[in-house]
Amino acid sequence: MGYKVHKTHTDYNTFQSTVNGIPCIVKVNKHLVVPPYLGSPQDCPSDLDYYGYTEFEYNILDRKGYPASWLEDKLTSSDDDRLLKEYEE
């Protein structure tokens, strides 16, 4: 009782975006959404499960599809949030 089905993607989805104004491709390696636990806090396996969380792992590729670590170095935490929102849309 208390858990909803997790939404997960592990099939390497890609989408186009920008980092610091530079066009790129985002290759999603993992997207996991664990909703907040609906039962009693005492019955929940962990505090993370109780509040829920999202895991979002990705790589930045150039427009030709090659890894672009130099562009990943330009990422900020606000870019992380924006890319997650773009992916979930």
Say how far apart CA 9 and CA 30 lie, in whole Å.
Answer: 6
Q: What is the pTM of this model?
A: 0.76
Say how far apart CA 40 and CA 49 lie, in whole Å.
Answer: 12
**Fold annotation for 7-80:** GMP Synthetase; Chain A, domain 3 (3.30.300)
Helices marked H in 1-89: 47-51, 69-72, 77-88
**Domain segments of the chain as ranges:** 7-80
pLDDT values of the chain reduced to their tens digit, one per residue, 89 residues: 444 444 444 445 899 999 999 999 999 999 999 999 888 888 888 888 899 999 999 999 999 999 999 999 999 999 999 999 999 98
- Given a contact cutoff of 8 angstroms between Cβ atoms, the answer to whether 56 and 31 are in contact is yes
